[in-house]
Structures are given as C-alpha cells and as structure tokens.
Chain A
C-alpha cells in the first residue's frame, strides 16, 4: 500500500499521458472515419473501393502489428525518422478511424431511402441532402456507438507501451521494475483505466437509450428471471 501511494504521482502522470494520447488521436480518428465511411457509401467506384480496402485492412489486422509496422517498418522505406509517439498516433488514428468509418456507414445506411428521395425531389443537390437531411438524422445513431468506440480507443492506447511510448501501462511497468510490486501496481493501473473507460461505456449505453430514433423504451416492466414467474 505504501508502495502504491509513493508511486501514485508517477502513475497519475502516466494516466495523464494516456488521456493526452487519446485526446490527440480521437478527433483525427473521428474525422478520418467520417470521411472514409461517407466515401465508402457515396464516392465513385474506385474511391469507394479504396475506402473499403482501407477499412477492411485496418479492421482485419491487429493494432499491435499496425503499431510495429508504423514504428519499425514504414521508416525503412519512407526514410522519415518518426518518434514512438508519432508512430503510435499514426497507428491508432488509422486503426480507430476504420472502426469509426463503419459506425458512420451504419448510421448513414440506416436512414430511409424516402429521406433521400424527398430531399432530391425538393431540388436540393446531392451534397446538401447529405449534409442537411441525412447527416443530422444519422448522427443520432452514430453518437452512442462512437462514444463506445472512444473507450475502446483509450484501452488501445495501452498498446503504445510496447514501442516504449510513455503512458499509463508503460508507467506501470516502470514502477514494477523498480519496486517489484507487480500485483499492486497492475491492479492500480487497471483501476485507473477502469475509471475512465467505465465512464465512457456507461455514457454510451445511456446515450443509446436516450437517442434511440424509434423511441424503444426497453420494457423494464418485465424482467426474465430463470425460475421466477
């Protein structure tokens, strides 16, 4: 317990780095996801295909391998010397961008054809229908899963520790190396992640109920319990 208290400031520094890493990555990933998800649906063939390829490539491979590739592989051919922090951001943005893209696509696809037809029949150009009619409605379906994806992003930043980016998991490893109190320290590290991520995932669930476009109120009146009538 003393070891934990003595090292708590250092761990909090790590936690703060995790938050910073997430805050830098999240807006970039969401922007990339919005673009890639929209292009996959509405762009001309080759562009849509490229967007699909990007999404499937990054959803189909592990974030860890992407991170290794960004840090150790890419610089070999580009010749750019990237820091571990930059490589981590690149990998995380591309990785979660692909997941955001699928969320955006799902949201856009859920809007009925009638909305498109009505907008176009009013003489609005395609871009305006998308921006003024479809996107606002899709947003309701996008917000909750996007918040859920953000909490996954926070968890995934821990992977940056393997290329020696300083963040919470790395900070935990440092303390363990110094104190050998692996059980206590990794417990505290887990608790710190939990505090952030649980907040995010409960918010996502609340939003899901709040923003449900069909206004489903899950029938809380009836709860299935095995053996209870």
Chain B
C-alpha cells in the first residue's frame, strides 16, 4: 500500500464542506415539510368521495415510486424547459425531492389511516362529529402517530436522496465534495468524509425520531 493519505485537503476545505452540509439540510428539510403537506393533501383525496381524484392520487403515487429519482430530476431539469418551465438546479432539486417525498408520505399515511380501524370512525360518527372532524381530529392524528417510525425512515431517505441533486449541479454536500475532488484528486479521503457526514446526519435523525416515539408512547 503505497498511497499517502492527505487529510489536510479535508481540513482546508472545511468551509466549503460546511456550506455543502447546509445545502443538504436545506434540501432535506424543505422537501420533507413540503412532502408532508403534499402527503396530507394526497391522503385526504385518497380517502375522499371523488373516485376520479382517488384514482389520480394512486397514479401519482405509483409513478413516483416506480421511476428513479435521477430520471425525475433530469425530466424536470432538462425536459420541462421545453414546455417553458425553467427552474434553476436548486429549485429543481427542491421540487423533485418534494414531489417524490409526497408520494411516499401518501403511502405511509394511507397505511396509518387504514390501521386506525372502523371502530374509531364509527364511534366518532356516532358522537355526531362532522365528517371533516372525524377525519381531521380522530383519524388523521392517530394515523400520524402510528406512522411516526415510517416518517422518520422517510426523512433519512430524503437526506440520502438529496445527494442526487448534485448531478444537476445543486449546491449540497455531494456536489461540493465532487467539486473539491476535481481539483485535488483526493477522492478517497473526501468521499470517505462525505460518507461519514451523511452517516452522522442520518444517525441524528434516527435518534430524534426514536426519542419522539418514546415520548409519544409515554402519553
């Protein structure tokens, strides 16, 4: 093994790496919040009275879940400008990640809603609650609580998936690291550090969600 490690490169590029981490956190957190908003809207339609809208949500979910994120990114970034929709790389990444995340959140919440069970719905209706309250105040909160572990998993998926935004040039950790490698050739050290940073981020997220679950269970 004649390779000489040079961790100085990592030390010298810490400011850029830090900026990349911020980009990754922005992408992941905004897309998860937007994804949950889309997911809630989607699940309302998914259990709503309109058969057409129910179908539409199903199609949306299946399309997003059965095509690669990378192709979705390319489609929005390179394909949509032909229709006159031109977004910069960071916004493209945000939109793509949010729409993708939304599809998974719909599925997660759907499973949660189905798990709530008939008894709760019947009881809420028997108490004379309006239908909007049956869903919004009885079914959905319980579905959310049951879905917490799966939602935590989805946050981790989004942190990792945001790395794909680098291929269209969005400013985030992987993009920054690829950039530094291009000038320093220290691919081993830099990709190892990038992996480590992602690992720390995903461990922190899973820690947060484990704590949340414990708090929820205590109630």
In the complex, how many angstroms separate the beta carbon of A121 from the nearest chain B beta carbon? 35
In the complex, how many angstroms separate the beta carbon of A54 from the nearest chain B beta carbon? 12
Per DSSP, chain A at the interface is: helix
Type the 1/0 row for A39-77, where 1 means its CB is closer than 8 Å to any CB of B. Answer: 000000000000000001101111111101100111011
Report yes or no: B49 in contact with A228, Cβ–Cβ below 8 A.
Answer: yes
Q: List 15 A-B contacts (CB under 8 A).
A: A56-B199, A60-B202, A61-B160, A62-B161, A72-B181, A79-B2, A162-B167, A172-B74, A183-B83, A186-B74, A197-B67, A201-B62, A201-B65, A222-B118, A224-B114
Report yes or no: B62 in contact with A186, Cβ–Cβ below 8 A.
Answer: no
> Which of these, A60, A64, A187, contacts B75 with CB under 8 Å?
A187
How far is A76 from B3 in the complex, measured between Cα atoms in Å?
Answer: 7
Query: Is the C-beta of A38 less than 8 angstroms from some C-beta in chain B?
Result: no
In the complex, how many angstroms separate the beta carbon of A145 from the nearest chain B beta carbon? 13
In the complex, how many angstroms separate the beta carbon of B61 from the nearest chain A beta carbon? 10
Among A26-34, A110-118, A136-144, A150-158, which stretch is in contact with chain B? A150-158
In the complex, how many angstroms separate the beta carbon of B179 from the nearest chain A beta carbon? 12
> Which of these, B71, B131, B199, contacts A60 with CB under 8 Å?
B199
> Which of these, B44, B62, B78, B187, contacts A182 with CB under 8 Å?
B78
* Residue in B68, B113, B178 whose Cβ sees the most chain A Cβ within 10 Å: B68
Among A4-12, A125-133, A188-196, which stretch is in contact with chain B? A188-196
Query: Is the C-beta of A159 less than 8 angstroms from some C-beta in chain B?
Result: yes
**Which chain B residue has the least Cβ–Cβ distance from A194?**
B66
Query: Is the C-beta of B82 less than 8 angstroms from some C-beta in chain A?
Result: yes
Report yes or no: A61 in contact with B83, Cβ–Cβ below 8 A.
Answer: no
In the complex, how many angstroms separate the beta carbon of A140 from the nearest chain B beta carbon? 20
How far is A20 from B51 in the complex, measured between Cα atoms in Å?
Answer: 39
Report yes or no: B131 in contact with A224, Cβ–Cβ below 8 A.
Answer: no
Report yes or no: B67 in contact with A194, Cβ–Cβ below 8 A.
Answer: yes
Known: A190-B67, A225-B49, A228-B49. A64 touches B166 (CB 8 A): yes
Report yes or no: B199 in contact with A61, Cβ–Cβ below 8 A.
Answer: yes
Task: Collect the chain A residues with CB atoms within 8 Å of residue B125's CB.
Answer: 229
Report yes or no: A182 in contact with B79, Cβ–Cβ below 8 A.
Answer: yes
Task: Collect the chain A residues with CB atoms within 8 Å of residue B160's CB.
Answer: 60-63
Report yes or no: A227 in contact with B74, Cβ–Cβ below 8 A.
Answer: no
Report yes or no: A66 in contact with B68, Cβ–Cβ below 8 A.
Answer: no
Among B7-15, B31-39, B144-152, B190-198, which stretch is in contact with chain A? B190-198
Task: Collect the chain A residues with CB atoms within 8 Å of residue B118's CB.
Answer: 219, 222, 224
Query: Is the C-beta of A90 less than 8 angstroms from some C-beta in chain B?
Result: no
